[in-house]
Every structure is written in C-alpha cells, then in structure tokens.
Amino acid sequence: MAKYNIGAVVAEFNYDITQMMLGLAKEEAKTRDCEITQVVTVPGVFDMALAIKKLLEKDDIDAVITLGAVIEGATDHDQIVAQHASRKIADLSLEYEKPVALGISGPGMTRLDAHKRVDYGKRAVEAAIKMCDRLKEI
C-alpha cells in the first residue's frame, strides 16, 4: 500500500515537456513508496484550478501536484498565466488543507529552458510528500 496517494494535474500545452515531467514525477513517487493514483490533463496551466479542486475533494487523494511549462511569448501573457495560476493553487491548498505542489516552470523562459527544467516534476512530488509528512506532525 502506498504511503500517500497523489493526484496530478498536467497541462496539455507544451505536451512534450509536461509528459516528461509526469514520467519523472511517477518515478519519484514510486521511489518514495507513494503513488500517483489519478492524472487529470487540462488544456493549460491557467485551466488547472477546477481540476485541482475536484481532486482535493476526494478522500483518497492526500496531495496534488501541478505540472506545466509557461514559456515566454511575444507579450506578457506568460507572466499573467503563471501569476494567477500560482495564486489560485496556493488558495486551494489552504482551503482544502492538503498540499498542492507547484511543479510549473516559468514564466520568462524559452522552450530550451523548459526542457532543462523537466525535473520540476520530480521536485513537485518531493515537496508534496514532505508537506504530507510535516502536516502529520502538527
């Protein structure tokens, strides 16, 4: 039996990058005796909030990780997306009193930068598990 059941919300935008992140996240969860039991794909990082909320409502989900890559474009759109998504993610974690780990790279990065940061998937799992452990101590 897994120590913790983790839900993952994964952006389809920049799919090649987010799928690598998800693969690393699954490997990390397994090495830490945990399991990613549900994966929800959403169009992009901005669209994650509702899927995160639905996962947090489930009794069999201990934490949620978010995986996405917000790449810089010709406008400040990447800044807006990342800022609003990260704020809502933090709000949901507080509202449901379960960890929601930010495995979203960007903003202000190139596609090459995003490929170099696929390990954010692994880091998100690590952060979620650490928070689950620490919350047990309170």
- Tell me: is residue 111 an annotated ligand-binding position: yes
E-only strand ranges, 12-129: 35-42, 63-71, 100-109
- Tell me: is residue 2 an annotated ligand-binding position: no
18/101 Cα distance (integer angstroms): 15
29/2 Cα distance (integer angstroms): 9
CB 78 within 8 A of CB 107: yes
- Tell me: is residue 85 an annotated ligand-binding position: no
24/42 Cα distance (integer angstroms): 19
Looking at residue 2, what is its pLDDT? 83
Q: Which CATH number fits domain 4-137: 3.40.50.970, 3.40.50.2300, 1.10.3720.10, 3.40.50.960?
A: 3.40.50.960
Give pLDDT tens digits for 29-47. Answer: 999 999 999 999 999 999 9
Provide the annotated active-site residues.
77
pLDDT grade for 136, boundaries at 50, 70 and 90: very high
